Amino acid sequence: MSTEHETGGAPTKFGVVLFEGFQSLDVFGPLDIFNFLSKTRPLQLSILAKELKPVSTSFPSAGFGQSVVPTHTFQDAPHHIEVLLVPGGGGTRDDENIAPAMEYVKRVFPNLRYLLTVCTGSALVAKTGVLDGRRATSNKNSFEWVKKQAPNVNWVSKARWVTDGNVWTSSGVSAGIDMTFAFVSAIYGESDAEWIAARSEYRRQTDPDDDPFAKDPEAGSS
């Protein structure tokens, strides 16, 4: 299979959606991989939020967290973003908190080349309706809640990650790392994915169906 990189058209313009109470590893697991990828080819990253003020992992603010600086508001986001990453986290449980992010995702989804979600980021995206009829997964600890957020999605209860067309959704938190390595391998080439994994000293899980955290007994897992 020739990758998009080999055919010259791999995406270079990345965006990540932040909201108060995002899960830090949901964001920085994938972004650390893209940071490495940016050393091999010119890439751009836009960090998007409701406002330009730093966005905290802690929501409601609890004193133990980290704040990341956006580069653009949702209103002023570049129009050319090709790959959009949407994290999960406790903040997804508050509709008002994620309303600006949902509005942005719904607006730009038709123009994206790829949408990647980690953990309950898939719930945020699914609540906009854009995943209706598609297969997707999410954090297994929050799976019942996630299903209720968007009952018209074909939620996959046993998967490390799921791809459906141009939408990649991962299971909880650390699963975003494995999904992103698979994404890099598929789109930029396995040699790039292997190079980054070696630099990161990361043992990839490459089987999207291998999910020891699945809770659905019908899926045949504990």
Applying CB under 8 A, the residues found at the interface with a second copy are 23-25, 27-29, 31-32, 34-35, 38, 43-45, 47, 54, 57-58, 62-69, 139-141, 171-175, 177, 198-203, 205, 212-213
Cα-Cα-Cα-Cα dihedral of 200, 40, 17, 118, to 10°? -40
Please provide the DSSP assignment of 40-97 as one string.
Answer: TS--EEEEEESSSS-EES-SS--S---EE--SEESTT--TT--EEEE--SGGGG-HHH
Shortest distance (Å) from residue 12 CB to a second copy:
10
Shortest distance (Å) from residue 47 CB to a second copy:
7
- Report yes or no: 129 and 149 within 8 Å, Cβ to Cβ: no
- Report yes or no: 193 and 185 within 8 Å, Cβ to Cβ: yes
Residue (109 or 213) nearer to a second copy, CB: 213
Residue (43 or 186) nearer to a second copy, CB: 43
Shortest distance (Å) from residue 6 CB to a second copy:
22
Residue (43 or 219) nearer to a second copy, CB: 43
Shortest distance (Å) from residue 85 CB to a second copy:
12
Residue (145 or 213) nearer to a second copy, CB: 213
Residue (3 or 40) nearer to a second copy, CB: 40
Shortest distance (Å) from residue 102 CB to a second copy:
22
Q: Where are the alpha helices (DSSP H) in the chain?
A: 24-37, 95-108, 121-126, 143-149, 175-188, 190-200
- What region does 216 belong to: left with phi over 0, alpha with psi -120 to 50, or beta? beta
Shortest distance (Å) from residue 78 CB to a second copy:
13
Residue (120 or 128) nearer to a second copy, CB: 120
- Cα–Cα distance measured from residue 180 to residue 31, given in angstroms and rounded to the nearest whole number: 9
